[in-house]
Structure formats: C-alpha cells, structure tokens
Structure 1
C-alpha cells in the first residue's frame, strides 16, 4: 500500500506528546500498532520501520517516548552523547507515565475515522519493554517485543509493586518475545528469569532466541542483520493481521 505520514501533538497526563502517524493513503478503517522506539526516539531507522508496517495495512503511531524531558521533535544521535542522554531519560521517567502515554494513544485511535477499534504494540530495546508494558492495558490485543531491556532487572522507576516483571500475570494479550543470544543488555540469566515467569504465570506467549546482537533490527550500524530483520517483520505482520 502507498502510505501517508503526519504528526499530532497529543495531550497526556504529563504533557503534550508529539506522535507520528504512518497509515495507508486509501480510504477505510485500519487496525493500529503503537510502535515504541529506542531511547533515541524517532530516528530514521525507526521511521523506516513504521513506514514498512503501515504499508501492510496498519495505522502505525510512533510516540516520542520521553516527551516530558525533551523539546518536541527531539531525536538523539546514535553516539555516546545520545546514548548517555537517552539512558538518563530512561531512568528519569516512571513507568506510570508510560502507562498514561499508552492510554492517550489508545484514546486518540478511538477518535480517528481511519482507525478500527483494534490496537497492538511493537517495540525495540526499551521500546520492546514499553510494548510489553502496553500489553497490561486491556485494549492492547497483541505485542511484539524485540530485545526488550530492563524487564528482568527491574531498573526502570515505578511505584512499589508496579514493576513490569512482577505484573506479567496481568497481561491478557498475546505477546511475542524476541531475544538476541549475543545481546549483553539481556544476558542468558535475564532471559531465563523472564521465560520462567512467563511459564509460571500462564500468559499467552511465544518465545524466540536468535543468533543476533542487540539492535539487530536497526538498519544503521554494524549490528544490523537484514535477513533476520525481514523475518521479524514478517512474523510481526502475521501476528497483527491475525489478532487485530
């Protein structure tokens, strides 16, 4: 499908959140995917991923995940300064604020005449965590979580008892976990901890560990695996076509 792109400044509980929307040009109502970025926000690789998904018949929303902490339109570079700023933002924003952002995105979808009522979530790196976290919201029907950081370590700020790992049992959506075996950010022990929790809680999940490094989906840099990335897009599209 040919797609179009526009942006909206959405009200949230913690301020205005700029959100990019990628969607088919043709008329109709399409299911939505909230696509959560890395700590760098909407970089060129994230925009290309969103466009690819939209071209398969989805409305794809890319929120600025740290909108409270940066001017609207901020994109961090893939360098040490960008990494340091992004990580500082990650540790400064509580999970409860991400939850209210997700609800604002769902509320937006429900008011658009080009959106159906079906919503899924997808993300990479911290965005994988946020897609997992979004699945705590009953409106989210499926989540595709790529190398989700900080679930196993409980390092993101949250109110007592509201960390993402402990709340896994509250997820009703179908959730797919994708991990790189050579990813130092989620080591073998961390993956095992999450897997055992998924088994213990009885959630509806699928699990894959692939021979890849962290950020293997990002089509810039020396960790990109094009063949594996294409396979992941195909799996994500199949999940959302089936569930949404």
Structure 2
C-alpha cells in the first residue's frame, strides 16, 4: 500500500495513503477520513480520484489515539469503536495535522502546486475548517457534522468551499442544517447543496444509506468544482 509519513507540528509523524494518476504534474486532493479511519472506503475514493487525474493523500487523523485504524460500518462493535475514536479526537490537533498535510501536498513529487481538500462526515467538518484555517485552494465537505457551531469562522473563508448536505441526516438535525444554510447562503465563496430524502453518508458506496442518484449528482458537482478550482 503506497504511503508517506508526514511530520506533525508538535512532534512525531503520521501515515498518509497516497494514490497517483498516470500523468503528472497534477493537482493534489487531501482526502479527509470518516470516523472509520483510512479504510478501504477512503482508499477507494483516493484511487478513483487518481484515475480522474488527481494526486490524492489521505492522512491518518486518529494516529494519536491508535495508528492505522481501519474499520467498517458493518457491525455494532465497529460503530462503538468509531464513536469512541470520534469522541476522543482532538479537533485542534487534527487541524494542525491537516495543515501539515497540505504543506506536504504542495511539494509532493508530481504536484503542480495546487491543493484541495475533500472530507466526509468528521472529514466534512474538517474540510470546512480547512476552508477557514488553511490556504487550501478549494475544499469540499460531504455531510459534515458540527458545522453549525463553527459558523463564526465563516468570514475567514477566502477560497471556494462546496458543501453537500443530507436533508435527513441523523447526525445533523434539521435545525442545524437550516442554521448552516442560512449562515452561509450569502457567502461569495460558498456553494451549498441539500439532497432531499437521503441520510448521512449517502455517498458511501456499500453503506446502509448509499443513494446512487444523490451520490452521482454530488460527484458531478464535485468534479466540476475541482476542475474549475484546481486545473
């Protein structure tokens, strides 16, 4: 499995999965994990993006708790462990690790110097924070959790942010969705889409709530967004 090690700002280092396209130089996308670690789902997303012409890097954000976590959404025990990791996750240190990943991405072999982020679930929240706290050239947030509590940072968004919101998201209640959409609707750098009738993780292939129609539409919007901002 192709990996690199990235130095953390406060000491130590962490693994990141890497997938590369056939042709370089190319833009880099930092893929930000769900609560299940850098598992097969995340690696498949990286590989698909690489086949579309992007270098991809998916860092292990849970390394401070347990390096190399790779679990699924297929059992109660794995869900329990995932939420344990989520609840123990230090967001501030995660932001720092992602900033270091973006730095590494700009100089990785084959990079054209442009870097975007794309995150799912927990990663969707972190992609929003990359929009407010990093110099990433663009950011994509899929069903990010807790963003309604971070709207005070929206004035710091300088580069384009694309958001995909599941209308029936059990982890982002309707009131939270309304707050997010109202708080960001006039921001010139934010494009937000709500997908009716779908639940959290509607784009996770093989997941309980996977919805092909919504996932395809979100993918099309994401592809156009990345082409416009990273090519």
Q: 1:125 aligns with which of 121, 125, 134?
A: 121
Structure 1 counterpart of 2:138: 142
Instruction: Specify the SS of the correspondent of 1:119.
Output: strand
Alignment of 1:211-222 (within 5 A): 211=196, 212-222=198-208
Displacement, 1:139? 1.9
RMSD: 1.7
Displacement, 1:102? 1.4
Point out where structure 2 has 5 or more consecutive residues left out of the alignment: none
Displacement, 1:20? 0.4
Task: Work out the CA distance in 2 between the residues paired with 1:219 and 1:205.
Answer: 26
Task: Count how many residue pairs are aligned between Structure 1 and Structure 2.
Answer: 227
Structure 2 counterpart of 1:158: none
Displacement, 1:234? 2.0
Deviations along 1:59-87, one digit per CA (max 9) or x if unpaired, are 1111112111113x221232222222222
Instruction: Specify the SS of the correspondent of 2:20.
Output: strand
Alignment of 1:230-241 (within 5 A): 230-241=216-227
Structure 2 counterpart of 1:22: 19
Displacement, 1:214? 0.9
Instruction: Specify the SS of the correspondent of 1:62.
Output: strand
Point out where structure 1 has 5 or more consecutive residues left out of the alignment: 155-163
Asked if residue 52 in structure 1 is aligned to residue 73 in structure 2, the reply is: no
Displacement, 1:128? 0.6
Structure 2 counterpart of 1:157: none
Asked if residue 93 in structure 1 is aligned to residue 89 in structure 2, the reply is: yes
Q: 1:197 aligns with which of 149, 173, 183?
A: 183
Structure 2 counterpart of 1:34: 30
Instruction: Specify the SS of the correspondent of 1:219.
Output: coil
Deviations along 1:149-200, one digit per CA (max 9) or x if unpaired, are 1122x4xxxxxxxxx3321211111111111111111121001111222146
Asked if residue 176 in structure 1 is aligned to residue 162 in structure 2, the reply is: yes
Deviations along 1:113-147, one digit per CA (max 9) or x if unpaired, are 30111111111111111111111244212111111
Task: Work out the CA distance in 2 between the residues paired with 1:143 and 1:136.
Answer: 10
Structure 2 counterpart of 1:76: 71
**Structure 1 residues 227, 199: closer, same or farther in 2, change over 3 A?**
closer
Greater share of helix residues, 1 or 2?
Answer: 2
Structure 2 counterpart of 1:64: 60
Instruction: Specify the SS of the correspondent of 2:226.
Output: helix
Instruction: Specify the SS of the correspondent of 2:171.
Output: coil
Structure 1 counterpart of 2:192: 207
Q: Confirm or deny: 8 A CA contact 2:140 2:222 kept in the other structure.
A: yes
Q: Confirm or deny: 8 A CA contact 2:202 2:211 kept in the other structure.
A: yes
Instruction: Specify the SS of the correspondent of 1:117.
Output: strand
Alignment of 1:160-171 (within 5 A): 164-171=150-157
Instruction: Specify the SS of the correspondent of 1:113.
Output: coil
Task: Work out the CA distance in 1 between the residues paired with 2:219 and 2:43.
Answer: 14
